[in-house]
Chains A and B, each alone.
Chain A
Amino acid sequence: MATATTTNAIEVHDLAKTFGTLKAVDGISFTVAQGEIFGMLGPNGAGKSTLIRMLTTLITPTAGSAMVAGCDVAAEADAVRMRIGVIPQNMTSDPDLTCAENISIHARLYGMGRQQRKQITAQLLEAVGLADRAKAFARTLSGGMRRRLEIARGLVHQPQILFLDEPTTGLDPASRMSVWELISHLRASGGMTLFLTTHYMDEADKLCDRIGIVDHGKLVVLDTPAALKAAVPGASVIEVRFQPDVAGGSAVLEALPLVSQVRQQGAALYRVSTDSGPATAGAIMDLARQQHVEVASLSVQSTSLDDVFLHVTGHGLTEHDTIVPSVGWGKRTA
């Protein structure tokens, strides 16, 4: 039976899913540590949803293996289901039920008794900021509130790992912020592992400890956001304004370590390209102190994950035309 034999929350080995001739997931391996927020980033159709559906026991892998919370997704599906919470991409809460009913009925699916359900429902509504909407029908919620309700539902049985499939897709910026806050809060409040998929770079960058980039069913790269960005050459741009100007101008900035290029943009305003934004920023501050000039403003614009994605896949996130209809295909073959 299922016993946690490893300290890793998720271990995936050569996992593959084929629909007909289409390799939706083509031999992916990675591990997610306990307590980590792990992001799977990729364009629509890259295989993210298929991957998450295999990890959440909704579809069975064609090849390879995956251990989730110490249990095999194929052989010990029920044990996995007891240990994970899933917030699918399609909203699965019932629009015709109230928020409280949605949570309470979901808790009943885990076999909880009436008293326990009542308690957990109140707690979770409070936790996701929907306590005052307990009796509101789910259909009356805004997109962000609805997504928070979905997250509350996924938490009823206090899962070890929470899977979120594109948690903010289709939400307006304010709603996205509120969902991000909730996810950050979940991480801060306990040792829960979070696995999320997204096709938003800023989301992955903001939330995740580590990011895997999938493209055409393969894992292209996996690392921390910072390391991924650092791997892109000429990674950061620093904009700095001195008061008054430094003696020596561009030449003295170009002499700083790691700096590849300096352009003067105006009076005492420079744009400095560097391999390491933080290191160069520090060097610039030191320089200003030595010369007894003030730094009026300084901003480090680090390489975005968009740049990373372009760098590792050779194409941008949005110009991906391969259509892998993960929803429809999943249904047919499951």
Chain B
Amino acid sequence: MRFTRAMAIVERDMHKFRRSPMLLVAALALPLVQLVILGNAFGGKIRNVPVAVINLDHGPQAVTVQEKLLAVAANERTFLPEPYADQTQALAALRAGHVAAVLIIPQNYSRDRLLGQHPQLALITDNTDQISAAGVSQTMSALVNSINAPAAALAPRDPTQVALDIVEVYPYTSYMKYLLPGLITLSIFITAMIGGGIVYIDDKQRGLHEGYLVTPITKWELILGFNLAGAIKAFLAGLVILTVGSEIAGVHSFLAPVRFVELLVVTALVAVALIAMMFLLMARIDDPLVPRAIFGVLNTLLFFPSGAIYPIAGFPAWLRAMSVVNPFTYAVHAYRVLLLQQAGIGAIATDLGALALTCVITLGSATLLFRRAL
């Protein structure tokens, strides 16, 4: 094994990488756009949802409900109550999408409440939009609770009642911050996909690899050269999203020296693991369409089940199983621990182990499959 021969491949790739920034742009654009757009689009509180209110009661208790609704509209702003005269009109508005829910205060509501005859309020929601419906339902439940226990806030607490005190360990984590670890990993993956997949097969197709094969470069030197070149590019892409993305998302802790070194270690390991995985997938491919065709599928299979955008705890069992064998999962977890949870390298030992194992398995298999031939 002569290192300089492998480095010839790296040298070539670095020249090209430097001159044609398109690979870097492509690897950075998607994660950055997703960070900003998804980070702001998802995970925000539901606000200003129009809700139709039909008051058929007009008694004093109904007035209390109306006041509570207005209080929500003024403070929490989850929804905006809009008075409707009759049910038919309100339901038509619901179907037309003008309102997201219809609250009905029925006739005799005040009387039932005063007489203790199971007073009821009806909430009809447009559940085609689950998220808005859930937000309205949640706020409405809280509203009803406050009607039921108006004194609770004022009176001393009942000493027999269990209270749940929720303590948030970390400062408020926006969805954008939650997304950041996944998107750093995604930028590394995209570099691997384009550089180690599309460009690699295109070079092979154009005969550039033939130029290597007529020289005495060995199989091992070729594998080392291709993977090292790819990993360096992927590492640089990851580093950019790590720094720029952290700034955008407002995660400033990454600059602490020890933390930064830990993050570099993780980034290098993720880069090698994902490049090696791509090298394995491309070991026997000649058709330039293949890497393009599998790009989207691979992205979906790796990125989404990794916990990058939605917690793994919410997955069905089979999808959880997929996340266990997905190197992305460990990359995302490692970044999340280091960036958001401020824990040290000890907390990501499992992740580092899993990523190292990925490198060993993929490089090992690729070495068996890779042929030093046309």
Q: Tell me whether A109 and B15 are in contact in the complex, defined as CB-CB below 8 angstroms, given that A58-B373, A88-B210 are known contacts.
A: no
Q: Tell me whether A96 and B16 are in contact in the complex, defined as CB-CB below 8 angstroms, given that A90-B206, A109-B5 are known contacts.
A: yes
**Additional A-B contacts beyond A58-B373, A59-B373 (16; CB < 8 A):** A57-B213, A58-B210, A59-B374, A60-B373, A81-B215, A82-B216, A90-B206, A92-B210, A96-B16, A108-B4, A108-B8, A109-B212, A111-B5, A111-B216, A330-B374, A331-B286
CB neighbors of A among B177-233 (8 A) = 206-208, 210-218
Q: Tell me whether A105 and B374 are in contact in the complex, defined as CB-CB below 8 angstroms, given that A82-B216, A111-B2 are known contacts.
A: no
A114 to B24, CA, bound (A): 28
- CB 8 Å contact bits of A151-170 with B (1 = contact, 0 = none): 00100000000000000000
A113 to B8, CA, bound (A): 11
Question: Quick check: is B7 within 8 A (CB to CB) of the other chain?
Answer: yes
Residues of A within 8 A of B374 (CB): 53, 58-59, 330-331, 334
Partner of B214, one of A58, A91, A101: A58
The residue on B at minimum CB distance from A332 is B286
- Report the minimum CB–CB distance from A321 to chain B (whole Å): 25
Q: Is the CB of B12 within 8 A of A105?
A: yes
Partner of A93, one of B11, B19, B211, B286: B211
- CB 8 Å contact bits of A79-122 with B (1 = contact, 0 = none): 00110101010111110110001000110111111000000000
- Report the minimum CB–CB distance from A161 to chain B (whole Å): 12
CB neighbors of A among B1-57 (8 A) = 2, 4-5, 7-8, 11-12, 15-16, 19-20
Most A CB contacts (10 A, CB to CB) among B206, B211, B217 go to B211
Residues of A within 8 A of B212 (CB): 109
- 13 A-B pairs (CB sep. < 8 Å): A59-B373, A78-B218, A82-B216, A88-B211, A91-B207, A108-B7, A109-B5, A109-B215, A110-B5, A111-B4, A113-B4, A330-B374, A334-B371
The residue on B at minimum CB distance from A108 is B8
Residues of B within 8 A of A93 (CB): 211
A84 to B20, CA, bound (A): 33
Partner of A101, one of B15, B213, B216, B286: B15
A93 to B16, CA, bound (A): 13
Partner of A110, one of B12, B206, B215: B215
Partner of A78, one of B15, B16, B208, B216: B216
Q: Tell me whether A153 and B15 are in contact in the complex, defined as CB-CB below 8 angstroms, given that A108-B5, A108-B8, A111-B5 are known contacts.
A: no
- CB 8 Å contact bits of A187-202 with B (1 = contact, 0 = none): 0000000000000000
Q: Tell me whether A106 and B16 are in contact in the complex, defined as CB-CB below 8 angstroms, given that A94-B208, A334-B374 are known contacts.
A: no
- Report the minimum CB–CB distance from A17 to chain B (whole Å): 12
Which 3 interchain pairs have the tightest Cβ spacing? A92-B211, A90-B207, A108-B8
- Report the minimum CB–CB distance from B23 to chain A (whole Å): 12
Partner of B211, one of A112, A153, A332: A153
A227 to B8, CA, bound (A): 46
The residue on B at minimum CB distance from A95 is B206
Partner of B207, one of A88, A96, A105, A106: A88
The residue on A at minimum CB distance from B207 is A90
Question: Quick check: is A280 within 8 A (CB to CB) of the other chain?
Answer: no
Interface of A is mostly: loop
- Report the minimum CB–CB distance from A78 to chain B (whole Å): 5
Q: Is the CB of B8 within 8 A of A109?
A: yes
Question: Quick check: is A56 within 8 A (CB to CB) of the other chain?
Answer: yes
CB neighbors of A among B140-162 (8 A) = none
How many residues of A are counted as interface, with CB atoms below 8 angstroms from the partner's CB atoms?
Answer: 33
A81 to B5, CA, bound (A): 14
Residues of B within 8 A of A56 (CB): 214
- CB 8 Å contact bits of B358-372 with A (1 = contact, 0 = none): 000000000000010
A101 to B15, CA, bound (A): 9
Q: Tell me whether A81 and B19 are in contact in the complex, defined as CB-CB below 8 angstroms, given that A92-B207, A108-B4, A109-B5 are known contacts.
A: no
Q: Is the CB of A92 within 8 A of B4?
A: no
Residues of A within 8 A of B15 (CB): 96-97, 101
Residues of B within 8 A of A97 (CB): 12, 15-16
The residue on B at minimum CB distance from A85 is B214
- Report the minimum CB–CB distance from B95 to chain A (whole Å): 59
Residues of A within 8 A of B206 (CB): 90
- Report the minimum CB–CB distance from A57 to chain B (whole Å): 7
Residues of B within 8 A of A90 (CB): 206-207, 210
Residues of A within 8 A of B8 (CB): 105-106, 108-109
A264 to B263, CA, bound (A): 93
A5 to B16, CA, bound (A): 43
- Report the minimum CB–CB distance from A165 to chain B (whole Å): 10
A91 to B371, CA, bound (A): 21
Residues of A within 8 A of B214 (CB): 56-58, 81, 84, 86, 88, 92
Q: Is the CB of B12 within 8 A of A94?
A: yes
Residues of B within 8 A of A111 (CB): 2, 4-5, 216
The residue on B at minimum CB distance from A114 is B4
The residue on A at minimum CB distance from B214 is A86
Residues of A within 8 A of B286 (CB): 331-332
Residues of A within 8 A of B211 (CB): 88, 92-93, 106, 153
A331 to B205, CA, bound (A): 10
A59 to B19, CA, bound (A): 34
Q: Tell me whether A92 and B217 are in contact in the complex, defined as CB-CB below 8 angstroms, given that A97-B16, A109-B5, A330-B374 are known contacts.
A: no
- CB 8 Å contact bits of B338-374 with A (1 = contact, 0 = none): 0000000000000000000000000000000001011
Residues of B within 8 A of A86 (CB): 214
A108 to B217, CA, bound (A): 10
Residues of A within 8 A of B12 (CB): 94, 97, 101, 105
A303 to B100, CA, bound (A): 92
Residues of B within 8 A of A332 (CB): 286
